[in-house]
Amino acid sequence: MGEKGEQLGVMPLFEAREVARRQNLDLVEVAATAAPPVCRLLDYGKYKYEQAKKEREARRSQRVALLREIRMRPRIDSHDFEAKTRSVRKLLEEGDKVKVTVIFRGREIVHSELGLRLLNRMAESLKDEVVLDKQPSMDGRRMIMILSPVSGQKVKAKEEVKGAQDAKTKDA
């Protein structure tokens, strides 16, 4: 193939090298397993630059899902629990996974069922918005549960905001 994608046909290697040299381009093997092997004439430095540029752009647009943590104690007050639930909801809307941890101190460890009840209550209050990645389990003096957002939740929230803005502009 030529630089602009045109077919140059089947030719011996020495002839292909000569054509590349005359056009001041590089001969690059694209498909080695094909019979005969497929090669292209291109400026290899420019090609590498374009590939690196595409890779940088792809990396920039990627969103890494972080594992965020919310901690609480087994004897948390109901209002504080609601505040923690709002915090978890906000983190999930940002697309992050959330590790909900109940920390037991001293003799509280004897009543681990309080922590289990607390984590189940959290999962129940967020049941439409989350997927339970890890069921509540003991990890030393802590009980943990990992939640992740339902796929498409962030996209749906953005569409709702856009729809509300569109409705405002139509009314105005």
| Residue 35: domain span | 13-61
Compute how many other C-beta atoms are within 10 angstroms of the C-beta atom of residue 3. Answer: 13
pLDDT tops 90 at residue 143:
yes
pLDDT in tens, 108-131: 889 889 999 999 999 999 888 888
* Same domain, yes or no: 99 and 76: yes
CATH number, domain at 20? Answer: 3.10.20.80
- pTM over 0.85? The answer is no
Number of domain units in the chain: 2
* Same domain, yes or no: 88 and 143: yes
CATH number, domain at 102? Answer: 3.30.110.10
For residue 105, give Cα distances in angstroms to 3, 71, 75, 121: 70, 13, 11, 21
* Same domain, yes or no: 77 and 42: no
Domain assignment present for 2: no
